[in-house]
Amino acid sequence: MSKSAPHAPKHPITRSFHGRDVVDNYEWMRDKASPETLSYLEAENAYTESLTGHLQPLTDAIYGEIKGRVKETDMSVPSRQGGWWYYGRTVEGKDYGISCRVAAEREQPWTPPRVPEDGSPLPGEQVLLDINELAADHEFFSLGASRVSPSGRLLAYSFDTSGDERFELRVKDLETGSLYDDTLTDIFYGAVWAGEEHIFYVRVDDAWRPHQVWRHTLGTPESADVLVYEEPDERFNVGVGADRAERFLYIVSSSKSTSEFHVLDFDNPTGEFRMLWPRQDGVEYDVDFIAPGGEEKWVVTHNATGPNFAVGTCPIDQLADLSELDDVAPHDDSRRIEGTDSYRDFLFLSYRAGGIGRLAVADLTAGGIGEFTELEFNEELYTVSLGGNPEWDAPVVRLSYTSFTQPAQVLDYTVADGEFTLLKQQEVEGGYDPAEYVAERIWATAEDGTQVPVSVVRRVDVGVDKPLPTLLYGYGSYEHSIDPAFSVARLSLLDRGMVWACAHVRGGGEMGRLWYDNGKMMSKRNTFTDFLACADALVQSGVTTYGQLVAEGGSAGGLLMGAVANMAPDKFAGILAIVPFVDPLTSILMPELPLTVTEWEEWGDPYHDPEAYDYIASYAPFENVEAIDYPDILAVTSLNDTRVLYVEPAKWIAKLRDTATGGEFLLKTEMSAGHGGVSGRYAQWKQTAFEYAWVLDKSGADAR
């Protein structure tokens, strides 16, 4: 196979905005139906394959390790809903899961059936969906919704077979196994039952913005569906849901900085939704429902009294101003409140403090809201979250717990006595000892003096007596926090003497709302300089050297990769960019593209604002490629991605290869996949193995 690098033809066009003219030689690649585009992408794939062929033994070895550590035939812990326990199973050799249920026993209504060690079916099992059967005739398959009606008799499920995240919904009679004729097409994620006759769902506009809520009546054609709500403001997305008390249906309309709720009695699905608090620019709120002592109240998480949010209450029929609610959890500069989760007898509070997500619970049985008590765990760096808990009157709640070194645990927490019961721990086949690994946190000093946390994970026995090959991961957008989590695949890096680190840079949410605010819009460069400060801190502390350091980021984290490649190419031996957002200015200047207008509150509005245009242009990776030596770069993308179009990394790699004075630039395009990459667990493992083999090679780690 030829190792001659493709050089993309240049078909220059001029982009003109605000008196700024920019010549783009590669915008022609946006036409994915063009034979020239497809030929170019195939040529890049062939080139990547030729230059990474020597990695095949290592890729195969890592794939074998991942596969060998995963319990391929396994079962989730059943979750109670109505008169059934629901769970999922996987079977060795099959790509996809199987969703199932068994009837609940009256004698032990809240004790889940014991999961068999061998992952075999439970007695009396009913298979709801075997996704392997659904996916059998498709190269790509993704489930978008799987919702059982309140009676447990009907299942609404949706699926995508191309990767463009546009779904078809079907309804299955679980008593007979037959499908209804009802078919909903080209819809968004999710579906909500209201009783046994109505399904609420969301549609997207031409720019893939979820903008409409529709109601479908079972047994009627799609053409008879009723438009319930339409959001005209292109900055806002809509969603629909219901509370676990089955008291209200909710429509939420939200932008990056503003939200608004409409509600409807659950037992009146054909009625008219009513607005709660009308939207105010910059004010976000979320609502939950409680009824302590029979008094129905809204529990509202909001930022009307401070950027880190607060929680207040009011009667459902006596709305007070958001700033005048009865405080339950007031605003606190040291705590970022993320939301509440309500049940008949207790209320959970989720928040971040000290860079860690935490949970607290308050009693509701005394007729009011008791004091919140934080759940405590032994590790410094951990992640705990509420799991599937559909039952309003449950005395126990399901929790998920993990850390960088602790495989995921499923716990039941009995609120009345504060007791934890371990139901299941993620099994690592072949043996795993968490004592052989250590996770710690160091701090980097940013350009402006801000202290930025860096999580560092390594084997205990490699120590820090000498610099080690290191993979530094980063994201830093949308207030998304990269929290501690165990990874089977990561062991293949750690066991080869590599360090894995995560830069918790501004733009994420790890350190509170201001952490996000100071890494977006006209402060976006902080995300990039924070990441470089983290790289420097790893080198200065002796963890690694620049020649052993590889950076990784995906999607908006791919923008971070492209920016730091331009700003400090000498600090990295390699950069792995997954579905990278590397041509942001071009994309954000096209309102017709998916996500563009809604993104103006994240990045700025260069379409109307020259200052925003110039600021984004100052860091946009594609715009700023220079005739300098770059680190080796591998960009991975998908042809059918609707979030970050393949054209962005394709243009970026083409320009790098034409302009840079040094560096190896590779593009790998999955020709039948979406934003999440390939589907099917075995294909995903193979993709991860390839990426990690490349990382190990570029870092100089032991590649055996």
Confidence of residue 482 (pLDDT cuts 50, 70, 90): very high
- Model confidence over 225-257: pLDDT tens digits? 999 999 999 999 999 999 999 999 999 999 999
| pLDDT score at 471 | 98
Confidence of residue 641 (pLDDT cuts 50, 70, 90): confident
- Model confidence over 49-80: pLDDT tens digits? 999 999 999 999 999 999 999 999 999 999 99
Q: How many domains does the chain have?
A: 1
Mean pLDDT of 526-536: 98
Annotated active-site residue 641? The verdict is yes
Residue at 603 is within a domain? yes
Inform me whether the pLDDT recorded for 636 exceeds 90.
yes
For residues 561, 498, 95, 579, the Cα torsion angle rounded to the nearest 10 degrees is: 0
| pLDDT score at 675 | 54
Residue 226's DSSP bridge partners are 215
Domain at 514, CATH number: 3.40.50.1820
Mean pLDDT of 362-371: 94
Largest pairwise CA distance in the chain: 75
Confidence of residue 363 (pLDDT cuts 50, 70, 90): very high
Q: What span, in angstroms and rounded, lies between the C-alpha atoms of 84 and 74?
A: 20
Strand extents, DSSP E, 25-139: 74-75, 79-81, 84-90, 98-103, 126-130
Residue at 189 is within a domain? no
CA 224 to chain centre: 34
- Model confidence over 553-571: pLDDT tens digits? 999 999 999 999 999 999 9
Q: What span, in angstroms and rounded, lies between the C-alpha atoms of 59 and 692?
A: 8
| pLDDT score at 336 | 97
Least trusted range by pLDDT, from 130-134, 409-413, 643-647, 691-695: 643-647
Confidence of residue 163 (pLDDT cuts 50, 70, 90): confident
Neighbours of 417 (CB within 10 A): 7
633 near 663, Cβ under 8 Å?
Answer: yes
Locate 239 and state its tokens: 């969603």
Percent of the chain past pLDDT 90, that is, above it, reads 89
> Buried b vs exposed e over 313-331: b needs ≥16 C-beta within 10 Å?
bbebeeeeebeebeebbeb
Query: Among candidates 186, 162, 183, which has minimal Cα distance to 172?
Result: 183
| pLDDT score at 162 | 86
509 near 336, Cβ under 8 Å?
Answer: yes
**β-strand pairing of 198-204 with 210-217:** antiparallel
| pLDDT score at 410 | 96
**Which range of residues forms the domain containing residue 567?**
35-68+431-699
Inform me whether the pLDDT recorded for 1 exceeds 60.
no
340 near 299, Cβ under 8 Å?
Answer: yes
Q: Could you say which of 342, 455, 555, 699 is catalytic? A: 555
Q: Could you say which of 216, 262, 302, 675 is catalytic? A: 675
| pLDDT score at 234 | 92
| Helix locations, 380-454, DSSP H | none
Mean pLDDT of 597-613: 94
Mean pLDDT of 112-120: 87
| pLDDT score at 703 | 74
Residue at 536 is within a domain? yes
Confidence of residue 677 (pLDDT cuts 50, 70, 90): low
Residue at 45 is within a domain? yes
Output phi, psi for 72, to 5 deg: -70, -35
Neighbours of 39 (CB within 10 A): 11
| pLDDT score at 563 | 98
Q: Could you say which of 641, 679, 697, 699 is catalytic? A: 641
436 near 405, Cβ under 8 Å?
Answer: no
Least trusted range by pLDDT, from 194-198, 204-208, 349-353, 417-421: 204-208
Mean pLDDT of 280-309: 97
Q: What is the mean pLDDT of the chain?
A: 95
Confidence of residue 106 (pLDDT cuts 50, 70, 90): confident
| pLDDT score at 672 | 66
Locate 228 and state its tokens: 């319930």
| pLDDT score at 374 | 97
Mean pLDDT of 624-636: 98
Query: Among candidates 286, 299, 276, which has minimal Cα distance to 338?
Result: 286
207 near 596, Cβ under 8 Å?
Answer: yes
120 to each of 74, 75, 124, 374, 448, how far by Cα in Å?
8, 8, 12, 37, 56
Residue 347's DSSP bridge partners are 342, 362
| pLDDT score at 593 | 81
Inform me whether the pLDDT recorded for 673 exceeds 60.
no
Residue at 415 is within a domain? no
Inform me whether the pLDDT recorded for 493 exceeds 50.
yes
Locate 343 and state its tokens: 């049940």
Residue at 359 is within a domain? no
DSSP secondary structure letter of residue 573: S
Residue at 647 is within a domain? yes
Annotated active-site residue 555? The verdict is yes
456 near 440, Cβ under 8 Å?
Answer: yes
Inform me whether the pLDDT recorded for 2 exceeds 60.
no
| pLDDT score at 118 | 84
